[in-house]
Structures are given as structure tokens and as C-alpha cells.
Chains A and B, each alone.
Chain A
Amino acid sequence: MLEVRELHAWYDESHALHGVGLDVGKGEVVTLVGRNGAGKSTTLKSIVGIIRKKRGSIRLHDEPIERQPSHRIARMGVAFVPEERGIYAGLSVMENLTLPPVVGASAWPLERIFALFPRLRERARSPGTTLSGGEQQMLAIARALRTGPSLLLLDEPTEGLAPSIVKAIRDLILEIKRDGITVLLVSQNVRFAAKVSDRHYLMVNGRIVESLANAQVIDREHELLEYLGV
């Protein structure tokens, strides 16, 4: 459903992506692994149109989207949860949750979200940023799911979070997968990624150097962890 070819992108003046190519099939969970600065986040931001200075082709459901503005890509069913989560301080938890428009038929109703994250219901009227980091991450993912995306992009969803929350996010991704939502994940947490993903791409210096099946990642976990320096 997502097909990226020869993608070059620039962050200000620096050439960050050097011909990235990747494919994500419908219903797959695919992870981009790589060191800091390898271009993982830049790849996600290029797909959703936040980075405009780019060359190459990005196709979603066989339609080119590389020239589309960010708001239109979102309406085509691509939800992006950035590393900084993007929770609004000026809006309550509930307002944050219901802010984006519903774009797909698989939109999660609020009851389902609250059944999974009772904390969000309890804190519904508090300012969004008064939640803990883990709760904000849940809110950010829940906000994306409420819009009914067909493709969900998650940038470092477990970074800096307690093990119990990482486990909750893992369960959530598995539940999303069962729903048939496609997920492209960026994570340096190889163990976490290996538990939720079907395939992995290893990124080095703005290129994809290796495509790995999940079993390979599990086999080579030590080597990968050593390489990533984590």
C-alpha cells in the first residue's frame, strides 16, 4: 500500500535521505531501525508531507502523494504520531482527542479508546500536557486511531517510557495490527520492534542497507544492539 522509491530529502541545507526505497504491504507492521541521524524520522516526515524539499516517488494505494500537502495526506488516511507527540497544552485531553477530523471507516469510537485507556477518560478535562509522558503517548496514538487511518506512522513511541507502558504500547500495536491497520514504525528499541513487527529495514546514512525478516532480527539481536549502540 505504501511504496517509496529513490527518495531524497533535505533538512534545511543538509541532504538527509539519499535514495530511500521501501515497501509496506497492507496490514503489515514494518520497522525502520538505525542509529540517530540515519534518516528514520526524516523518512516518516517526508511521507506525510512535513518535509517539502524532496525528490523521488511516494505512492499510497498506487497514487502519488509526494507533491500533496500534509493536510491532504492526513485526509487520505495517513496518521502520524511524531516523537514529540504533539499534544496541545491549550486544549483539554478530550479536545486533543477529538481535534483531528475522522477520515476513515475504521475510526475508533471514543468508547473503545476509553475502554483501553481509562486514564484518558478520567483526565478528559485536564489540559493535554498535564498528562504523564506515557499518557501523552497513549493520547497521541489514540488521537490518531480515532481518525480511522489506513496507515499509521509511529516515531519512537516507546522512547523514555517505563517498561509497563512500553508493554501497553506493544499490546496496542498488536491490537491495531489485528484491525488490519498498516503500521510503519521508527524505533531504536530492537527488542520492542521485534515483538510487534513483521519486517524491518536497517537505515544507515540516509539509505536503506538491509531488509530483514523478523526472525533474522531476533537471531541477530545482539549484533544489532551493538551496532545501534543501545
Chain B
Amino acid sequence: MIARAAALDRRIALALALGALALGLLLPHVLYVGLATDIVIWALFAAAFDLLLGYTGLLSFGHAMFFGGASYVAGLLILRAHWSFFPAVAAAVLAATAIAALVGAIAIRRQGIYFAMITLAFGQMLYFLANQFGDWTGGQDGLQNVQRPTLIAGIRLDNDTLLYYIALAAAVLGVASVLRVVNSPFGRVLSAIRENEPRATSLGYRTSAYKLVAFVLSGALAGLAGALFVIAHRFTSLDTLDWHTSGEVVIMTVLGGIGTVFGPLFGAPFYLIINDRLSTLTTSPGLVLGIIFIIVVSVFRRGMIGELVYALRRRRHVEHVAPGA
């Protein structure tokens, strides 16, 4: 009975992982490759966000600072210094990590709405800084005409489909590392903090250190997504740093299901595809998306994938409890 219950949990995870991977491999054949690449990038961004919201219980409202910040760092290094793919992406991730460490050290002292407000404030600060230093960032124009970097000696990433699969590989690595973290002893401490922080403290954990590490990991992976974004789009702009971007990643994560890792992988395409289709039909896709969001949140309180996982687990639990109860 025990073995079967655990096997089912693993089966759910495996099925979702394979489903997400199959979707990832098929995507460029179903959609145009630009949208497919966006989906993969945002899915990674949302999974990184879920590490913080779903597993640590911290709602950041400034995650655009890592995504956008990294997109500017990678963009500048490629545009001005002609760095190739791997060094540029690595430097952008490092920059996002540094920003996250700095902001996290301050924000982590607060909880709930105060934490959200502090992260929002830092996000806006970076937005205004980027706007201010127009000589570097291009101000309102952003960084235009960022040529595709070379992947390795001689191979430029001009082929959109090749870039798609590289982004997919990066996203798979990113999501795998999130899974590795949440399923580790470290991840269990994070879960404990989310559920009852004072209790985790009195069990012997300095919870602020754990929250900071989660914040930094989440920021670093959001930075990876941001670096891929500027490379894929050949430009970046202040939009990537805007609070609206921070809000979009919240919506994708909640739509998919917080605290599931896999939920955001499905929430991101759902959001982006609907947004893409709507923008050809209406001038205000935001209104329709807002209504869809309200419906999903009130009907599927745990998000789409979250409800699915919950229903499967519940069925197991009923089987599990019935004989003894």
C-alpha cells in the first residue's frame, strides 16, 4: 500500500515531466517558432518563480528585475562586446544572482504584503535606473539589433529552430534544478518554512538563510530566462523590467498551480497562446485574460495542474484510508 502510494506520486510527476517535455519537443511544429521560444522562456521564468512562491511561500512582485536585468546584461555583452552565447548567458545569470542576493538580504526580513511591496519597489528602482542611464540601456528604445551570438566557434545562432531547442535545453536544465532543490532536504525545510515558519525555527533552522538562498536561486533562474529572451528577440526593452512583467509571471504560475513546479510549465503556454490568439481578435486582450484568470482561480483554486495532481492524490488517499478507517 505504501509502496503503491509513493509509486503513484512518482508516476504523476513522471507523467507531467514527460508531458511537458513532449509538449516542448512538439511546440515549434505546432506554433510559429517565435511564440514557441517565448513559451519555453516564460515557462522557465515561471518555474523559477514557483520555487519562491510555491515552495517558500514568498510572493515576490519584483521578479522582472532579474528577468529584465539579465536581459540587459546579456544584451549589452553581445551587442557591445560581441560575447558568445555561453559567456554572455553565464554573466547575465551571475548578474541576476548578485541582484537577488542584494535585494533578498533586505526583502527577506519582511513577510507577506511587505515582502511583495519591497520587491516591487526594488523592481521599479531598477526600471528607473535603466531608464535613467540611457547611454547604456538605450532608455525608452531599449537595446535594439542585438545580433545573435555565436554558440561555439563558427556556429552563429541565426537559425530560430536551433535557438528554440537550445532554449528548451536550458529550460529543462533549469526546471530539473528546481525539482532537485524542492525534492532535497533543503527543499523540505523550505516547505516547512512555508507551512509554519516559527516551528521551523524552533526545530533548529535559521529560516532567513533558507529563504535567502531560495530567493537567490529563483532570481538566478529568472535571469537565465531573461538572457534567453534578449537572444531570442534580438532586442530587450524597459518592458522586461516593468512591474507588468512581474505580474505576468505571477498569473502564469497561479494559472498552472503554485507549488507544483510543473504547473507553471503549462500555465505559461496557456497564458501566452491565449494572449497571442486574442491579440489578433481584440484590441484589449488584457480584459479577456483577466476574465479567464478570475474564472480559473475561482473554479480551479489550486491552478490547472494543481487541481489535477490534487484529484489524483485524493483518489489515492481515499483508497489508502478506506480499509483502516
Give me the interface of A with B, judged by CB distance under 8 Å.
48-50, 69-75, 80, 82, 86, 88-91, 95, 98-101, 103, 122-126, 130, 143, 147
Contacts and interface: CB of A to CB of B under 8 A. Distances in A.
Contact of A126 (B5, B185, B194): B5
B202 A74 contact: yes
Contacts of A95: 188
Given A74-B204, A103-B204, A123-B2, 18 more contacts: A50-B202, A70-B201, A71-B201, A71-B204, A71-B205, A80-B202, A82-B199, A90-B195, A91-B191, A91-B192, A95-B188, A99-B203, A100-B203, A100-B205, A101-B204, A126-B2, A130-B317, A143-B203
Given A99-B203, A125-B5, A89 B195 contact: yes
Contact of A48 (B5, B194, B202): B202
A101 B6 CA distance: 24
13 contacts: A48-B202, A50-B202, A69-B206, A70-B198, A80-B202, A88-B192, A91-B192, A98-B185, A101-B203, A101-B204, A123-B2, A125-B5, A126-B5
Interface of A is mostly: loop
B217 interface: no
B313 to A, nearest CB: 9
B5 A86 contact: no
Given A124-B2, A126-B320, A130-B321, A90 B202 contact: no
Nearest to B194: A90
A223 to B, nearest CB: 35
A69 B201 contact: yes
Most buried by A among B5, B194, B195, B202: B202
A106 to B, nearest CB: 15
Interface string B172-207: 000000000000010011011011101101111111
Contacts of A130: 317, 321
Contacts, number: 71
Contacts of B185: 98
B208 to A, nearest CB: 9
B141 to A, nearest CB: 47
Contacts of A122: 2
Contacts of A80: 202
A116 to B, nearest CB: 19
A147 B204 contact: yes
Contacts of B194: 90
Most buried by B among A73, A95, A99, A130: A99
A72 B209 CA distance: 13
B188 A86 contact: no
Contacts of B206: 69, 71-72
B211 to A, nearest CB: 13
Given A122-B2, A125-B6, A126-B320, A90 B191 contact: yes
